[in-house]
Structure formats: C-alpha cells, structure tokens
Amino acid sequence: MTYSFAREKSKLNHREKMYYTGGVLLLLYSILIYTYPSIHMLQKNYMKERVNAEIGRMLEEQNRLRLEYELIITNEEMEVIARRYGLSEPREGQIIYVKKER
C-alpha cells in the first residue's frame, strides 16, 4: 500500500506534536491571562452588591429596632435620658396637648 503525499504529510513526528501541544497550551494560557481580570472584577462587583444589600437590610433592621425600643421605654426612662442629654422640664404654656382622632 502506498501513501499519497497528503497522507504522509498529515503524519506528525514527535517534535511536531510537541510544538503543536505547546502552541495549544500557550494559546489556552493566553486566553486565561486575558480573561482573568474581567472575571475577577465581575466577581468583585457581585460581592460588592451583596455587601451593599446586606448593609441596607441591616440599616432597615436597625431603624425597626430603634423604633421598637422607643415604643418600649416608659415615660420615666425617657425623662432620665432627656436629663442626661441636658434637656429640662418645659415651662408653663410650652406644653400643647393634641387630641388624637380616629
């Protein structure tokens, strides 16, 4: 059986196989090096968005807890806190009562 020229040409010797493999590996490494910064930045942006969302949820929870705390404390506790921050009793005529309508 005789091989045609194209058939013999398609056979690669050991050195050509090594060059081919090295070229493919170099190409894959180049693609990895080229795309890594973009992928890394994308991951950082997703992480930043998650952290910002968590901060938002924590601020909402803080506001809810602050409101709950203000509703729980008694009038006497409020007076103690007000005196601690330098507030004084209102004088006569400074108090206005508002009737709540339903």
Residue whose C-alpha is closest to residue 71's, from 63, 83, 60, 82: 63
| pTM listed for this prediction | 0.47
Question: What are the tens digits of pLDDT across the range 34-93?
Answer: 999 999 999 999 999 999 999 999 999 999 999 888 888 888 888 888 889 988 888 888
What is the residue extent of each domain of the chain? 11-84
CA 91 to chain centre: 52
With the C-alpha atoms ordered 66, 69, 74, 77, is the resulting torsion angle positive or negative? negative
Distance CA 8, CA 2 (A): 10
What phi, psi does 89 have (nearest 5°)? -65, 140
